[in-house]
Amino acid sequence: MRKAFISPSKYVQGENELLNLGYFIRTYGESALLIAHPEDVKRVKDKLDFTSKKFNVTLVESEFRGECSREEVQRLQHLAREKQCSCTIGLGGGKAIDTAKCVAEGDALIIVPTIAATDAPTSHSAVIYTGEGAFEDYAYFKQSPSVVMIDTTVIANAPTRFLVSGMGDALSTYFEARATSRSFSKVNAGLPCGVHEGAAPAAGGTKAALALAKLCYETLLEDGVRAKIACDANQVTPALENIIETNILLSGLGFESGGLAAAHAIHNGLTVLPGTHHYFHGEKVAFSTIAQLVLENAPKAEIDEVLEFCFSVGLPVCLADIGVDAVTADELRLVAETACIPEESIHAMPFPITEEAVISAIVVADRIGRDFKLSKKDAIR
């Protein structure tokens, strides 16, 4: 069986690590195109100025317009050529990071997340939107980022909700990788969808990726609550450092080289419900993970463990928690249809998938989550 594993060339994490950004720019040359929202630049301006002066490098600010669109990518690529930038930096949240990936096209790319809300920073893929913000396509590049740099001080001073959302995204990593491993399904580390005929066959996940995915889940259970408390207090602690690594590195390597399954597909289905639009990716993935566990008839003890974790850090456990107070049969059918389209990751589950089974899993997961919250309220009384 063909297997594959992919990762960034370098991952570095620490307090005030942004002060060393210039060192990594120097690896490639003397200047870098900085793709970041102006507000994110403002948050870390002192550190950017310090590292530019210390390492004698130039940061070319791009006035990023906030959307990872083809038009914006072309504009920034032109700017990078005009200014003869040696590398590209994506600093901030998902849109800036994805835009930087598209601009660099797999060459000399430094990713600097300012929040730990998803596991996307380490991956070699991006989501492209229209100029108006509607989903358009996925993009895959020849390699993962050259450097992923995490300043834990910056993460600690971001709103805690971002960190908790990242834990929700990371929560699915082990369960999806486990399902993919059992079904011998392909993973993103191999060949993405749509590769040309005659290419090498798709690849499955490695034991290393599954082990990282399992460590991701174990670390969430061990340090999640303490990391949330530390972030609430804007303090960097060992627990917070461990969860930042979990949200970004362990989950990132785990999902891309271990595989996605039902949880992310159900998440994508849930996005058709307007009520979910005000909730973060990881918040919806947390509930979708519970739905996946119901779909695969996971042991009660395992579902209870996931529910306890979600409740302890403030992640959603039922539909109402992601803005869906009521849902019709037609709406559920649309969610299931969207989750079950042929190219979706739900087909990596180690058994045949039907829309009816997905609808049932969502309904039962919602009921289990609501009952769990009621039991917690009764216990408090």
The residues that are catalytic are: 169, 264, 267, 281
Dist. CA 376–CA 22, nearest whole Å = 50
CA angle 355, 359, 360 (to 5 degrees): 115
- How far apart are alpha carbons 249 and 189 in whole angstroms? 15
Contact 118, 162 (CB under 8 A): no
Residues with Cβ within 8 Å of 196's Cβ and at least 6 positions away in sequence, in order, are: none
Residue pair 3/207 in contact (Cβ under 8 Å)? The answer is: no
Vertex 240, ends 280 and 39: CA angle to 5°? Answer: 50
Among candidate residues 298, 6, 340, 285, the one with its CA nearest the CA of residue 179 = 298
* Bridge partners of residue 35, in order along the sequence: 90
Q: With H, G, I as helix, E, B as strand and everything else as coil, classify residue 10.
A: strand
Please state, in angstroms and rounded to a whole number, the distance separating the CA atoms of residues 334 and 18: 44
Task: Name every residue whose Cβ is closer than 8 Å to that of residue 69 and which is 6 or more positions away in sequence.
Answer: 128, 129, 130, 131, 136
Q: What angle do CA 60, 61, 62 make, to 5 degrees?
A: 110
* Whole-angstrom distance, CA of residue 262 vs CA of residue 253: 18
Q: How far apart are CA 135 and CA 132, in angstroms?
A: 9
What are the tokens at 194? 């749509």
